[in-house]
């Protein structure tokens, strides 16, 4: 399955009335969202608002009690098997003591391309080389993943998604605990990936950077509080509903917050 076999009219993500409960805790309550293809969409909300749960549902790692979802019109299992979707998990969800090198992690992105013996072909090795180069980690290929900085670890997982040639990248807080160089590298990469027609859903607490990074945004608090352009979503009222008293300020660079003078 590749991009050319996809129906171009199908959105990258359609979530329909999805509810997830962990025992007594409601993580997602009848969540419906659509993310169109070729967009960078920002997922925002307080800690515990359900962002990671939504990512895990999209990856088929958590089963919803109610509702449905589709990735490019397919089930999450079919999308994963078709290597359409790549996931960059939160750092807390990764066992960094697992004895693998940076190159090994990126090569994992090629597994679905390989035969049952997982013997890498020349094309697989070239894809890994290319992905490492794009994230600026060629020199660290043989380094154990656990020895990298937070930002380098994130870049390694982004490289895995690039090597996989995934059409949809799900990034759970890629900017958390990363240095400025890694942050700038990841932002540039996401724009490049979008330029190639790929779709990105990225959770972030960096509201100030969101208008520059994202085409659209989703504000989550178990339910969808707002969805649309960053300017539409990042209003004082919406942020107060999501974050409560002491909510973060509306980003100054939100396009609608800076009206263009007539004739400008």
The CA–CA distances, whole Å, from 196 to 38, 41, 167, 249 equal 8, 15, 9, 33
Nearer residue to ligand ATP within complex by CB, 124 or 172: 172
Q: Considering the rule CB under 6 A, would residue 27 count as an interface residue with ligand ATP?
A: yes
3-state helix vs strand vs coil in the chain, percent to 5: 40, 25, 40
Nearer residue to ligand ATP within complex by CB, 49 or 164: 49
Beta strands in the chain (DSSP E): 13-22, 25-35, 40-44, 66-71, 85-88, 168-172, 199-203, 216-221, 223-228
Find the shortest distance in angstroms from Cβ 62 to ligand ATP: 8
Find the shortest distance in angstroms from Cβ 53 to ligand ATP: 3
Find the shortest distance in angstroms from Cβ 86 to ligand ATP: 18
**Residue from 226, 227, 237, 230 nearest 251 by CA:** 230
Site string for ligand ATP, 67-106 (x = CB under 6 A): -----------------------x----------------
Find the shortest distance in angstroms from Cβ 44 to ligand ATP: 9
Find the shortest distance in angstroms from Cβ 208 to ligand ATP: 17
Q: Considering the rule CB under 6 A, would residue 47 count as an interface residue with ligand ATP?
A: yes
Using the Cα atoms of residue 44, residue 46, residue 47 and residue 53 in order, give the sign of their dihedral.
negative
What strands, in cross-sheet order, belong to the sheet with 25-35? 25-35, 13-22, 66-71
199-203 and 40-44 beta bridge pairing: parallel
Q: Considering the rule CB under 6 A, would residue 163 count as an interface residue with ligand ATP?
A: no
In order, the DSSP letters of 113-149 are GS-TT----HHHHHHHHHHHHHTT-GGGTTSBGGGS-
Residue from 12, 18, 44, 49 that binds ligand ATP (CB under 6 A)?
A: 49
Find the shortest distance in angstroms from Cβ 218 to ligand ATP: 12
Residue from 37, 51, 153, 155 that binds ligand ATP (CB under 6 A)?
A: 51
Nearer residue to ligand ATP within complex by CB, 31 or 135: 31
Residue from 15, 33, 45, 69 that binds ligand ATP (CB under 6 A)?
A: 45
Find the shortest distance in angstroms from Cβ 201 to ligand ATP: 13
- Find the part of the chain contacting ligand ATP (CB under 6 A) among 5-13, 44-52, 112-120, 124-132: 44-52
Nearer residue to ligand ATP within complex by CB, 69 or 131: 69
The token pair that represents 226 in the structure block: 């707002």
Nearer residue to ligand ATP within complex by CB, 51 or 153: 51
Residue 217: CB partners within 8 Å, gap ≥ 6?
Answer: 41, 42, 43, 44, 210, 226, 227, 228, 229, 230, 233, 234
Q: Are 60 and 80 in contact (CB under 8 A)?
A: yes
The residue with tokens 């490289």 is: 159
Residues at the interface with ligand ATP (CB under 6 A): 22, 25, 27, 45, 47-53, 90
């Amino acid at each position: 399955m590749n991009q050319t076999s996809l129906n171009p009219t199908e959105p990258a993500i359609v979530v329909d009335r999805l509810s997830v409960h962990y025992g007594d805790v409601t993580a997602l309550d009848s969540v419906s969202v659509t993310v169109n293809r070729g967009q960078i969409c920002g997922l925002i909300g307080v800690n515990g608002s359900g962002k990671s749960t939504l990512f895990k549902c999209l990856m088929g790692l958590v089963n919803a009690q109610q509702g449905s979802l589709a990735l490019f019109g397919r089930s999450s299992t079919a999308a994963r098997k078709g290597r359409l979707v790549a996931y960059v998990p939160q750092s807390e969800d990764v066992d960094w003591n697992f004895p693998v090198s940076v190159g090994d992690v990126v090569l994992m992105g090629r597994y679905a391309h390989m035969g049952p013996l997982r013997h890498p072909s020349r094309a697989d090795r070239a894809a890994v080389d290319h992905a490492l180069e794009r994230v600026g980690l060629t020199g660290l290929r043989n380094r154990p993943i656990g020895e990298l900085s937070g930002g380098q670890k994130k870049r390694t997982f982004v490289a895995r998604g690039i090597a996989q040639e995934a059409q949809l990248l799900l990034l759970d807080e890629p900017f958390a605990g990363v240095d400025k160089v890694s942050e700038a590298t990841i932002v540039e990469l996401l724009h490049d990936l979008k330029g190639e027609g790929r779709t990105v859903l990225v959770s972030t607490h960096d509201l100030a950077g969101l208008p520059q990074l994202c085409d659209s945004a989703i504000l989550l608090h178990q339910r969808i509080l707002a969805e649309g352009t960053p300017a539409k979503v990042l209003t004082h009222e919406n942020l107060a509903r999501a974050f409560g008293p002491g909510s973060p300020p509306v980003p100054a660079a939100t396009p609608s917050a800076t009206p263009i003078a007539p004739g400008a």
